[in-house]
Amino acid sequence: MSDVLLWFGLAAVFVGIVVAIAAAATTPAREGGVARSLAAVEALRTAPDPMREELNKPFGERVTGPAAQRLTSWGRRLTPSDQASRLRRRLDLAGNPPGWNNDRVLAFKMLGLLVGGVLGFFLPLLVGNVPWAILFGIGLAALGFFLPNIVLYQTAYNRSEQIQRELPDALDLLVISVESGLGFDAALSQVARNTQGPLAEEFFRVLQEMQLGTGRSDAMRALGERTDVADLRGFITAMIQADSFGIPVANVLRIQAKEMRVRRSQRAEEAAQKVPVKILFPLIFCILPSLFIIILGPAVIRIIDAFSLT
């Protein structure tokens, strides 16, 4: 019993010493932290007004904004002079995504260039391979520089494909609305309200431009310039000519809707004809080897076992 009390007393003394040392170690740190906080508050209170106004701004205005402006200026120096117009055209085809503009794209290009170059250079350099570090640095830097263009091109392509798919159904609804007694503008508004997607957004924009005083022909021409869908441009050309020559809109819409349905059927047949050619390489290099392994594998194993026994 005395041994138990002795060990318990020693443990208590050890715990007390540890607690005392921890308290002595943390008290100055806390006091130092409080002193530094008070010093920072005092320095901020006594700082000049321009400095205090600058420090009171959000982080985005103080750091992110100037960094983006610097990257944009670098991007303008590395891109051709006509790059701005081409980017503007590509943004129009992509539907002008929220937050995307020429400066933002140039900033992302320079950010991708810097990040890709640093990662591509230093990751192989960690294993001591200098030639691969140079090669990967140049390759990833080029990929990072052109990555925003690739994303923008793919976004525009997907949007154009969606407009092409939605156009026949939208024209059918437009024909029904016009033949029921609505005017072209009212029918266009009806289609824009009852459909979703990029085509409905473009119809809304056409209506807004017409409400602001733009003529119907000019608004339709602007719609054709914002897209690269051949079927939509053909429809716009037919509507402009009908408006110029006084042809009844209902007849033009009916003919256009019929042509769109025929073209959609033709595109479906064309896609079906391309399937055998597209599946040829996966069939040869992926499916047939797997079938050969599954079918002939057991036979080969049995033949090898039979020859090994003899």
Q: Are residues 124 and 208 in the same domain?
A: no
Pairwise CA distance, residues 203 & 223, whole Å: 8
Same domain? 119 vs 152: yes
Rounded CA separation 91/54 (Å): 34
Other beta carbons within 10 angstroms of residue 19's beta carbon come to: 10
CB distance 152 to 105 below 8 Å: yes
Interatomic CA distance for residues 178 and 249, integer angstroms:
8
Whole-number average pLDDT of the chain: 76
- CA–CA separation, 208 vs 117, rounded Å? 45
Helix (H) or strand (E) holding 212: none
- Where among 159, 178, 203 does a domain terminate? 159
pTM: 0.66
pLDDT value for 256 = 87
276 part of a folded domain:
no
Q: Binning pLDDT at 50, 70 and 90, where does residue 59 land?
A: very low
**Is residue 50 assigned to a domain?**
no
CATH number of the domain to which 175 belongs: 1.20.81
Domain that holds residue 182: 168-268
Residues 172 and 222 in one domain: yes
Residues 147 and 222 in one domain: no
pLDDT category of residue 49 using cuts at 50, 70 and 90:
low
For the segment 189-208, the average pLDDT, to the nearest whole number, is: 88
Is 298 contained in some domain? no
**Looking at the structure, do residues 210 and 237 belong to the same domain, yes or no?**
yes
pLDDT number for residue 30: 39
**How far apart, in Å, are the Cα atoms of 120 and each of 90, 114, 171?**
29, 10, 50
Residue at 286 is within a domain: no
Which tens digit of pLDDT belongs to each residue from 90-103? 888 888 888 777 77
Task: Express each pLDDT in 107-146 by its tens digit.
Answer: 888 888 888 888 877 777 776 677 777 887 888 888 888 8
Let me know whether 226 and 150 are in one domain: no
